[in-house]
Structure 1
Amino acid sequence: MEWRLRWAGPGDAPALSLVAAATFLETFAGTIAGPDMVYHCTTNSSPAKFDRWIADDACVVTLAEHPDGAAPVGYTLLVPPDLPVETDEDDIELRRIYALSLTRGSGLGHRLMARALDDARALGRRRMLLGVLGINENARAFYEREGFTLAGTRQFRVGDTVYDDVVYARRL
């Protein structure tokens, strides 16, 4: 299947908010408490938040769409780094990379990552960082296949609960 990837623009925030909440729920149902997920999604994946990222020249938001009907099925978000590791102006953070489960095995995850790496290089960045839930073995295996290595740890709050994350890095 040929997924459509494009940079998000004005008007895309509602679609991004929808796919962000859906993918977060799919990924973490059974791991993160329901009320914490609802709070996290409504505060950190709101259309207003996506509008701000889309308007910010330091950020890049990519939307993946289904080829039949252009339904949002995934996205990435690149931002200036906010992680507890030493960073400089050559770094960028892949804050989010998510795709709906219906895309699993289709290569969309790799395509989203390749696009994020290309976008980071186009911004003049030389290293990409990301944080991931430490017990999310599937995501960790994906990042390691994509060339990321362990760079540190952090604690990450979702609602009322604090989780242990790992921080990965990759030279570009």
Structure 2
Amino acid sequence: MEWRLRRAGSGDAPALSLVAAATFLETFAGIIAGPDMVRHCTTNSSAAKFNGWTTDSACVVTLAEHPDGAAPVGYTLLVPPDLPIDTDARDIELRRIYALSQTRGTGLGHKLMTRAIDDARALGRRRMLLGVLGINARARAFYEREGFVLAGTRQFRVGDTVYDDVVYARGL
């Protein structure tokens, strides 16, 4: 399948918010408590949040669309790093890379990662960082296949629960 990837603009904020909440729910149902998930998505994946990211020149948001009808099926978000490891102006954080489960095995994840790396390089960045839930074996295996190595740890709060994350890095 030939997924369509494009740079997102502020008009895409509602679609990004929808796919962000859907993919978060798909990924973490059964791991994160339902009320905490709803609160987290309402706060951190709102259209207003995405509008801010799409209009910030320091951020890059890419939207993946289904080739038939252009439904949003995935996205990436690059931002200045906010992680508990040493960083500098040459670093960028891949804050989010998500795709709906129907896209698994189609190459969309690799295509989104390749686009994020290209965008980071175009910004003059030399290292990409990301944080991921430590017990998310599927995501960790994907990042390791994409050339990321462990660079640290952090704790990440969702609602009333604190989760242990790992931080990965990859040279660009």
Indicate conservation of the 8 Å contact 2:10/2:50, yes or no. Answer: no
SS at match of 1:68: coil
User: Is 2:154–2:165's contact at 8 Å kept on the other side of the alignment?
Assistant: yes
Matching residue of 2:108: 108
Whole-Å separation in 2 of the counterparts to 1:39 and 1:155: 18
Unpaired runs of 5+ residues, structure 1, are: none
**Amino acid aligned to 2:28:** F
Superposition pairs for residues 1-172 of structure 1, below 5 Å?
1-172=1-172
Report the alpha carbon displacement of residue 10 of structure 1 after superposing the two structures with TM.
Answer: 2.4
Give, in angstroms, the shift of residue 105 of structure 1.
Answer: 0.2
User: What is the rounded CA distance, in whole Å, between the counterparts of 1:160 and 1:43 in structure 2?
Assistant: 14
TM-score (norm 2): 1.00
Contact 2:8 2:63 in 1 (8 A): yes
Query: What is the Cα deviation at residue 83 of structure 1?
Result: 0.1
Residue 126 of structure 1, CA deviation: 0.0
TM-score scaled by length of structure 1 = 1.00
Distance 2:164 2:72 in 1: 29
Report the AA paired with residue 125 of structure 1: R
TM-superposed CA distance for 1:86, in Å, is 0.1
Distance in 2 between residues matched to 1:101 and 1:144, nearest whole Å: 20
Matched residue SS, 1:135: coil
One-letter identity of the residue aligned with 2:35: P
Partner AA of 1:5 in structure 2: L
- What is the CA-CA distance between 1:141 and the residue it aligns to? 0.2
CA contact (8 A) 2:6 2:64 kept: yes
Please give the alpha-carbon distance, in whole angstroms, between the structure 2 residues aligned to 1:137 and 1:9. 32
In structure 2, what residue type is equivalent to 1:23?
T
- The CA RMSD measured in Å over matched residues stands at 0.3
Q: CA deviation at 1:21?
A: 0.1
Which portions of structure 1, spanning 4 or more consecutive aligned residues, are displaced by more than 2 angstroms? Answer: none
* Rounded Cα–Cα distance in structure 2 between residues aligned with 1:9 and 1:170: 27
Deviation at 1:117, TM superposition (A): 0.2
Percentage identity across paired residues of the two chains: 87
- Supply the AA of the counterpart residue of 1:136: N
| Post-superposition offset of 1:160 | 1.0
Q: What count of residue pairs does the alignment treat as equivalent?
A: 172
C-alpha displacement of 1:41: 0.1
1:159 Cα deviation from its structure 2 partner: 1.0
